Chains A and B, each alone.
Chain A
């Protein structure tokens, strides 16, 4: 049976299986980093941009004629009992001006915990114009039982921000990463 062109079979079959394995590798090793890349190119609002390098301000030219409101929102993820809130609800900033905001966190439990804050910015079209030069979200925060901390973020709203955007909301979700602290470091690199 199947005596027609057995050699051709082997060739095609090998190619197809290589293709299948290639697609598996594509899903596992190409799609996640490519997604990161795409998100940062297109400035999509994704937690994967958390590991993004701090922004280096090139030239400082402040647009005094315009005020943009930056709102702060804090959210505790499930199983995160810390107290977590911004010092102020919102600030009005001039585009181009470096502004410092402080967030307060306190470990209310009786054990040492490590937290990771994940930033998120809306509206979507403001993402590429909101630069963090310094942020507590670039690192994890470990707190002993009952201890508190003031965590700063320094940001610049780009002067190129579209005129239609008047308010930018910067929110942080606080996750408990005590259990996965070590492995999270590894995963960040992929």
Chain B
């Protein structure tokens, strides 16, 4: 009687508990992904299928092995009075579990080799993009598209990182300038690095390739769905390794053309701006933006220094302007101070020099124009 009630209760409660657990699990799984995504490329789908195949094969083997083990644990217990047998060899069994795994491995290796061949495909791409890893940002260079070359920096505000503001949906996965690629188009990435080894990873595009200084690696993708896809640097590259995300916008072909045209127009505008003269205030305003994205990581938001020297009261920032500019353009060899002459345009160089001389308590009151930088660079 008693045991029947218990069984009844179990029968009733079992499904309820199971459903609650499943619901909670689905909720959690919904909020935080727990599996690889097939992504938006055919190759990504192949990789995902291979991943699932290997999981199921492993699960099947695991269930088999552990079933036998738990059977012994339950049935062959000393406390149950089970007497140990004394055999300790069986040639047939040992041969079987040496040989059968080869076939299982073959079953996995076949699709893996197939997918690998696709990864190494060398069909003609329509667009080539040079991706260069820097400490701690990415540079993108569209080959053959004059002026379409830019840096992509983390755009998450410092306040969010330090818990002074609420974190947004794309916390640490957002950049100031994402790269755009057209949908259904084969894109080739030529991946390299400026300083240490980085690794360019976008899970949804099924691309991960190391960026190594002195070596150019290639990877390709062909996205089949319009959208924004995010990834991160995957190889430890120093202090801000966790703060150099990758954002790829897959556009329709028309939108991509529009974006490309706007980038080219922007490049043209910069060339025009180079010829203009700006007021001190305008230069400071532009310079602050340049400083925050390029200098602040090492020299501090208030020029107080950090990995790099303090800029507040620095002998360069309050010394002769040309030496100050030369320092930024050429860097300091064998230190973390890199040469910005090649990474910033003349306009930004002039602005950031002006800003540094007129911020953080440095009060020089002088300003520099793009044309001065151009003259400085071509003087010698």
Residues of chain A at the chain B interface (Cβ within 8 Å): 45-47, 71, 73, 75-83, 89-90, 107-110, 118, 120-126, 145-146, 162, 164-167, 169, 171, 173, 175-176, 178-179
Contact = CB atoms under 8 A, between A and B. Distances in A.
Given A171-B190, A171-B216, A81 B132 contact: no
A169 B195 contact: no
B190 A164 contact: no
- Tell me the interface secondary structure of chain B in the complex: loop
Given A82-B342, A179-B334, 10 more contacts: A75-B130, A77-B195, A81-B329, A90-B143, A107-B380, A108-B377, A110-B330, A122-B190, A166-B122, A173-B213
Contacts of A124: 120, 218
B130 A73 contact: yes
A179 B144 contact: no
B164 to A, nearest CB: 32
A169 B189 CA distance: 11
Interface size class of B (residues with CB under 8 A): 35 or more
Contact of B214 (A81, A110, A120, A179): A120
Contact of B330 (A73, A75, A83, A109): A109
Contacts of B332: 79
Given A77-B213, A77-B214, A81-B341, A89 B194 contact: no
A146 B330 CA distance: 12
Given A122-B218, A146-B379, A173-B192, A81 B339 contact: yes
A76 B213 CA distance: 10
Contacts of B326: 109-110
B144 A118 contact: no
Residue from A47, A75, A89, A167 whose CB has the most chain B CB atoms within 10 Å = A75
B41 interface: no
Nearest to B145: A89
30 contacts: A45-B217, A47-B214, A73-B130, A75-B130, A75-B132, A75-B194, A77-B195, A77-B213, A77-B214, A78-B195, A79-B334, A81-B331, A89-B143, A108-B330, A108-B341, A110-B380, A120-B192, A120-B214, A120-B215, A122-B217, A123-B120, A124-B120, A126-B122, A145-B380, A166-B124, A169-B128, A171-B192, A171-B216, A173-B192, A175-B214
A107 B341 CA distance: 11
A153 to B, nearest CB: 15
Residue from A90, A110, A122 whose CB has the most chain B CB atoms within 10 Å = A122
